[in-house]
A and B are shown apart, each in its own frame.
Chain A
C-alpha cells in the first residue's frame, strides 16, 4: 500500500470501491463495495466525494481498495503520515480490526510509539542494519538495558539513546 492514497479524489467513496472491485473482477462488485464500506465504517459517507474526506478517512479507503484484492498479507508504507491524532487513531482502529480478522499486516513507520502500540512484532532498521527483531515488550526491555540513563524518560527519547549506544 503506497504512503499516499492511490484513489480518485473526484469520485465518491462508493464509486472508488466499485471501480476497483470491478477491475479486480469480483463477481458481485456491489457486495464487495458494501463489505468494504462496512469494514471502514464509512457506509454513511458512501456518496461523498473523496477529496472532501479527511486524510485518515482517505487512507482507510485506500487500504480498503487494497483489501479488495483479498491479499494474504497487507503491506502498509507509513500509513499514518500526515494524519492528526484523531485520524491516526481511527486508522489504527481499522487496521487492528483487519489483523483481528486474520489479515497479516506489515507496516513501516518512523514513529516508534506507534510501532510499539500497534505492532505485534517489531523489526528495527537503522541505516540498513537490523538492530532488533521481536515483540514490543522485548524492545522496551532492550532499550532499558542498553540505555539505562534514559530509562526514566519517555520511550521515544530512550529509544534514541538506545540507537546512539548502537552506533546510530
Chain B
C-alpha cells in the first residue's frame, strides 16, 4: 500500500505538471457530455409562427348556457410553436411571405360566436385561418402537425361540451324538468311523465279510444328507452376512440435525468479510460515499468494504483459535473450515496478496461488514440434504443455493449440519480464482473512489459 500511495502522488504530480493535458482530459469529455446532454434533453426546434388573435378580449365560449373553462389559447399554441405576435392580417401575410415565419395562425373575430352557435338550432362553422410558407418541407410539415394537433384538441373540447349539452336536452325530453331560454324558464313534462299520465287516464276513456291511446303510450315508452340508449352514444361521439396506455416493460426515468446520466457516464468513461490507459502506458514509455516491478511494487499493486488514480479523478470530475448540472435540472441530493456507489463501481470497471487498453500498446499517444477509438463507438452503441435498428443488429449491439462497462455504468448512474429507473443492483453486479475480467486481462497483458 505504501508503494501505491507514492505512485499515486507521482501520477498526480505528473498530471499537475501537464496543465494542458489535464484540462483537455477533463474539459473535452465534459464538453462532449454537455453537448450530448443538451441534444438528448432538448426537443425538436419549435417552428416560428405569426399569431393574430382577432377575437375580442373577454369573449367566452358558451355552450348551452354554460361557459367553457378558460382555454388559454395563446399559452397552448405558444408552448408548441414559437409565437411572433402580429397586429393585423397584412403584417401576418408579410411575415410569412418574407420567410420570417413559417406560418401565420389567425383566429378571426367571429370565431367564438360561431363556436357558441354550435349548440343552437342554427349552428355555424367556426374557422381558423392558417397562412403557410412551405419553402422548407420538413418545417412546413412540422407546422401542419402542430396546428392540426392544436385544432384537434380544440375540436375535442367543444365536441365534449356539445355532447354533454345534447345529453342534457335528451335527459330533459325523457325525464322532464326546467328549460331556460330567452330569459325565461319553461317546464318540460318529459316522456316518462307523459306515459304515466296517459296510462292513468286510459281506463277512464271509452273503449274505442283506449286502443289508439295505448299505442301512443307504448310509443312514449319506446322513445324513452331508445333515447336513454342514445345518451351514451352522443357522449362517445365526442371521443370515439379512447387511448388506454399500458406500460408492459422498461422503466424509464424522466428524459432530463437520463440526459444527465448520459453526460455523467460519458465524462466518467473518457476521464477514467484515457487516464488509466495513458498513465499505464507512460510507465512503459519512461522505461520505469521494469524498474518498478523488480521489487518496488507488484504488478497487481501497480495495476491497482492506476485504477485508483482513474477512479479518484473520475469521481471528482463526475461529481463536479453533476453538482454543476444542479443549475439546470434539480437532482435529488438525498441520493448522493447512491451516486457515489454508482460512480465508484463504474470507475473501477472503466479503469480496469483502461488498464487492459493501456497494457495493449506501448506508447501513450497510441494508447490514448486506442482508448478514444474504443470508448466513443461503444458509448454511442450503448445509446441505441431497441426498435431503432433491426432485431438481429440490436441483439449484436446488446452483446457488444455488455462486454464494455459503459452501458452498465450508464444504468447504474441513472438508477443512482432517479428512483423511477431500473434498479441499481444488476448494473453494479455487471460492473463488478467486468472489473475483475478486465483486471485479469490487463494482468496478462502486463506480462509482456515485465518480460522486456
Contact = CB atoms under 8 A, between A and B. Distances in A.
B302 to A, nearest CB: 11
Nearest to B5: A22
A81 B294 CA distance: 23
Contacts of B291: 2, 6, 65
Interface stretch (A8-16, A37-45, A147-155): A8-16
Contacts of A69: 295
Contacts of A8: 10, 14, 286, 288
Contacts of A74: none
The CB with the most chain A CB atoms within 10 A, among B18, B288, B292, B295, is that of: B288
Contacts of A10: 14, 17-18
Contacts of A5: 287
B6 interface: yes
Contacts of B18: 10
A15 B9 CA distance: 11
Interface in A2-32: 2, 4-11, 15, 19-20, 22-25
Interface residues of B, number: 19
Contacts of B290: 2, 6
Interface residues of A, number: 19
Contacts of A22: 2, 6
Contacts of A2: 287, 290-291
B296 A6 contact: no
Contact of A15 (B13, B287, B295): B13
Contacts of B297: 23
B296 A7 contact: no
A5 B290 CA distance: 12
Contacts of B2: 22, 25
A58 to B, nearest CB: 11
B288 A11 contact: no
B3 interface: yes
The CB with the most chain A CB atoms within 10 A, among B9, B291, B292, B295, is that of: B291
6 contacts: A2-B291, A8-B286, A11-B10, A11-B13, A19-B7, A24-B296
Interface of A: 2, 4-11, 15, 19-20, 22-25, 49, 65, 69
* Shortest Cβ-Cβ A-B pairs, 3 listed: A6-B287, A23-B296, A6-B291
Interface of B: 2-3, 6-7, 9-10, 13-14, 17-18, 286-288, 290-292, 295-297
